[in-house]
Structure 1
Amino acid sequence: MQDKKFQKFIKRIFDVVISLIVLIPFLPIWGVIAILIKVTSPGPVFFLQDRPGLNKKIFKVYKFRTMRPGSENMVKGQEVMKDDNRVTAIGKFLRRSKIDEIPQVLNVLKGEMSLVGPRPERVASLADYTDEISKRLNMNPGMTGLAQVSGNIYLSLENRYKFDVYYVENFSLWLDLKIIIRTVGVVLFGEDRYVNKYLVDIDLESIEAAATKEEIISK
């Protein structure tokens, strides 16, 4: 238990240091991205939405807007796929490169999120949480997570939850490091590169969902 507390303390220090490195030197790039968003589509530069965090505490998550105004009214558990026509031209690049998530370093600095953890879901999802799924809320949500480097949009919602719960129950700095390294690979090569390539040995069901989604994308 003491070891876990110490690791979480180090994790927090790492979160703050990396977030400041991303925030301060790269502010000019933030400005360029903001201009591109404004000139290519109507609407605000940032997308803010209530999300449940640690112990279901609600906070506003920050992202660069990648979709047309009004597109946030989505079906629960439905991921935005590559060819989704709600995504703007610049939004496709921002989503593919994960740059749209960068403003969440502000959430990390505020202590609402971590660099690594279960991705924060929409508040409406809480209505379907079982006691088992609720375990994913026992740690701060993350900018990236175990599910995000294990196929992400190609996983069923049920299997993403399994990865989240596994992460919370088996957290370690070593696991965080492996997730961060794999995240670099996801940014460079895409999420589809890691379909069925998991960092941990975990019992999953509905694996066929990945193949089904790949077929949909290829059509």
Structure 2
Amino acid sequence: MRNLNLFFKRIIDCLGALVGIIVISPLLLCIIFLIKLTSKGPIFFRQERLGKNGRVFKILKFRTMIVNAENTGTGLFVKTENDNRITKIGRFLRSTSLDELPQLWNVVVGDMSLVGPRPPVPYHPYKYQEYNEHQKKRFNMRPGMTGLTQATVRNSVSWDERIPIDVRYVEQFNLWLDIKIILKTIQKMINPESIYTENDKSPKRKTSNFN
């Protein structure tokens, strides 16, 4: 049954991503225009990530920060929406997760899935060989544009707390769970929450990063 679910998951990924690109193409073109209009640099941000079985691939996102931002200031971490590395349009794209839309192409070519664990960079929080056997289960499936962590805790907890949630998703995966995660993600996009430490009033501090 699991293999059948995975088979249909890949079909849904391909069809969903292709249809999605076509349907939202006017929005994509609008975002591209605004990025070029408001800041200097490339339209897209490419970064190496760890995918299925630890394979490294390049994730695709709309650029929301100045060029070379990850090597300046606080590096991977963005602690406030007033971080001067974030572009004008970038603030809106990050808060609504619209910067993630180019990953539909990652889905089409097979690097990613619509739903799955978010792919970390190869050196943070650990190198692939440094994850223990239980933690490595999160790499048994393609990484997702969204996932159980994005639909629940997002960046409000540390990676060590997110990894068990990713593992639980992999172990409990089924198509109905994917549908629920997608619906929850859409809800969060419509009613975005602050992802920055400075604006968080809860006991668990939020820190956005390049994920």
What TM-score, normalized by structure 2, do the two folds share?
A: 0.86
Looking at structure 1, the residues matched to 81 and 141 of structure 2 have their Cα atoms a distance apart, in angstroms, of 29
Aligned counterpart in structure 2 of residue 176 of structure 1, from 159, 175, 178:
178
- In 1, the alpha carbon distance for the partners of 2:134 and 2:78 equals 22
Alignment identity in percent? 43
Residue 149 of structure 1: how far off its partner (Å): 1.1
The answer for unaligned runs of 5 or more in structure 1 is: 194-209
- Cα pair 1:94 1:100 within 8 Å, conserved: yes
Whether 2:193 is the aligned partner of 1:211: answer no
- The Cα shift of 1:82 comes to 3.7
1:117–1:140 contact (8 Å) kept in structure 2: yes
Q: How does 1:139-218 map to 2 (within 5 A)?
A: 139-191=141-193, 211-213=203-205
Residues 16-165 of structure 1 mapped to structure 2, 5 A cutoff = 16-73=14-71, 75=75, 78=77, 81-125=80-124, 126-127=126-127, 128-165=130-167
CA deviation after TM superposition for structure 1 residue 81, in Å: 4.7
Letter in 1 for 2:119: P
User: What's the TM-score, normalizing by structure 1?
Assistant: 0.83
Bigger relative contact order, structure 1 or 2, given CA contacts below 8 A and separation 6+? Answer: 2
- State the alpha-carbon separation in 1 of the partners of residues 79 and 105 from structure 2: 24
1:32 CA displacement: 1.7
- Provide the alpha-carbon RMSD of the alignment: 2.3
Give the 3 Å change call, closer, same or farther, for CA 26–185 of structure 1 in structure 2: closer
CA positional deviation for 1:102: 0.5
Task: Work out the number of aligned pairs and report it.
Answer: 198
Which has more helix, going by share of residues?
A: 1
1:10 is displaced (CA, Å) by 1.0
Cα shift readout 1:7-33 (whole Å, capped 9, x = no counterpart): 011111111111111112322322221
